[in-house]
Structure 1
């Protein structure tokens, strides 16, 4: 009996230490589904890991299979590491890596290195789980710069690029989980739509 109690306590300890949230999104262009995004948040002690993996198939200018991977790690609520990669038909087309070193961020984007010296507490990958506030600034891991957040209504926010004033829209549901995201490109827009909204309150 004591052995069973020890096992149960160990399981409960692990569950308390490791917490995960996973959401799936459909990706649409011109109203047609072209792929899927799987976003995951895992908490282990003082470390939070965010991942986002997507697969899409498009036929613009020839058929392409696009795989996107992103992994960002926060430690004690501060950005510690980030990796981003895009592959088209198996070939790397974009890559960005952020490493924390001596109080700075060393950002390598497609072979170009830049340095960012301020600690980051909010970055784009977190916006799946975090409903922002008007006037917040969110760090764009790919490229290493801040975007301004402008509130449109109670649940809709625009992310504005500092250089182009380009706007992406983030729409949240009643429990603060990202329900839709509209990414605007020059020729077309991508739309991400949350698949299953049931039991989000429990997951939250």
Structure 2
């Protein structure tokens, strides 16, 4: 099995590329979706988050806006939250890998792959990238995003140029959607040949 780490900074099109891998029949572990599940209604870490951050949960699980406001500018609080979330996500990831152990290729979609040292758990890394002006336009089109929040998020992420330099593969998303899909298919074919699949 080849474990491919998929990452990219905010607004680069990583989720779209992950969906393309899934549409090609590749099993994809979506770390963000797993966090949503863990923090959703009756999620397994909701109780621990409420205990650590009282008033941030309810019947629908974690109030993400409230929790974000509580931890975003407070590194110690953010670290406390990560100490709850990361082990739970790691457990889900290991279960995913066990379920797909006979697959020739799987994808771990992890937004902060480099930032969290996640490269040790993958065989190769693909970075999804687009020019900064396209990234900015995409992110600021989101209804809950402000320029200030965008800059704060960028400050926590390794710069795109550094990610591209450290990647085994780069998929660009600044062209037509079918051009991106062609890159995904070419990469799958290349990795299948290497895996003997």
Relative to total residues, which structure has the larger helix share, 1 or 2?
2
TM-score range, shorter chain: under 0.3
- If the length of structure 2 is used for normalisation, what is the TM-score? 0.27
Give the strand-richer structure, 1 or 2: 1
When normalised by structure 1's length, the TM-score is 0.26
Question: Which of structures 1 and 2 has the bigger CA Rg?
Answer: 1
